[in-house]
Amino acid sequence: MSSSIKAVWNGEVIAESDNTVVVEGNHYFPLESVRAEVLQASPTHSTCPWKGEASYYSLSVGGQTNKDAAWYYPAPKDAAKQIAGRVAFWKGVQVG
């Protein structure tokens, strides 16, 4: 049985799942495993040549904000279709 992977920031678990997909060393969590109340839509976008255009969320936990600390691909290219509907974290978010 696989164990849960957690994403923790500012001392709180913000996502937990035993069904993450690892791409380029990043765990992509199913969106439904992320605490919706910590996500704030961001206007930031970036483009990956093989995954497509990424959108971002800022995290709001315990009165603090971590700008653009989560990202996702709303319409990933075919090569990255396994991360559709999933969110990954960086910028100090501990995943493991």
**Is there a contact between 7 and 15 (Cβ–Cβ < 8 Å)?**
yes
Q: What is the pLDDT of residues 26-82, one digit of tens each?
A: 999 999 999 999 999 999 999 999 999 999 999 999 999 999 999 999 999 999 999
CA 9 to chain centroid: 12
Q: Which domains does the chain have, with CATH numbers?
A: 5-95 (2.170.150.40)
Overall pTM > 0.85: yes
CA angle 39, 94, 91 (to 5 degrees): 65
DSSP E strands, the chain: 5-9, 12-17, 21-23, 26-30, 39-48, 52-61, 64-72, 86-89, 94-95
Do you know the residue count of the chain? 96
Q: What is the pLDDT of residues 3-33, one digit of tens each?
A: 899 999 999 999 999 999 999 999 999 999 9
